[in-house]
């Protein structure tokens, strides 16, 4: 086998791998904002789930646990805390460092 062909095959495989990593990174980076946007859209579509708008007879638990706002909070936490580490690991694997331990 010619070394020129082998090099071309290796380069092609590396390009495919880097495209796949870029797509995964983009998907991970979009999860947080989309979840936050989904929680806020849920709050707009079903405003009766937000206790602040009609507080009659509601306790402290009802003020703390509001599903649409919790969904938005989970999206923000994912975006700020979890996604950067996942992206770093994916980019490290793409560079050949292997999984971070």
pLDDT of residue 53: 62
Q: At a CB cut-off of 8 Å and minimum separation 6, what does 33 contact?
A: 75, 79
Asked whether residue 52 is domain-assigned, the answer is: yes
What whole-number distance in Å separates Cα of residue 17 and Cα of residue 8? Answer: 14
pLDDT of residue 26: 94
Q: Could you tell me if 50 and 44 are in contact, meaning their C-beta atoms sit under 8 angstroms apart?
A: no
Asked whether residue 89 is domain-assigned, the answer is: yes
Task: Report, as an integer, the average pLDDT of 35-49.
Answer: 89
For the chain, what's the residue count? 101
* Res 12 pLDDT > 70: no
* Res 98 pLDDT > 60: no
Asked whether residue 88 is domain-assigned, the answer is: yes
Asked whether residue 99 is domain-assigned, the answer is: no
Q: What is the mean pLDDT of the chain?
A: 81
Q: At a CB cut-off of 8 Å and minimum separation 6, what does 63 contact?
A: 51, 52, 55
Can you give the residue range of the structural domain that contains 70? 3-94
Asked whether residue 35 is domain-assigned, the answer is: yes
Whether the model pTM is above 0.75: no
């Amino acid at each position: 086998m010619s070394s020129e062909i082998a090099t071309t095959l290796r380069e092609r495989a590396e390009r495919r791998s880097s495209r796949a990593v870029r797509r995964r990174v983009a998907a991970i980076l979009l999860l947080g904002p989309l979840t936050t946007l989904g929680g806020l859209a849920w709050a707009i579509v079903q405003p009766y789930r937000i206790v602040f708008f009609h507080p009659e007879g509601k306790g402290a638990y009802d003020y703390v646990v509001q599903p649409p706002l919790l969904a938005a909070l989970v999206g923000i936490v994912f975006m700020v805390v979890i996604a950067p580490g996942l992206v770093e690991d994916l980019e490290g694997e793409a560079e050949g460092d292997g999984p971070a331990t």
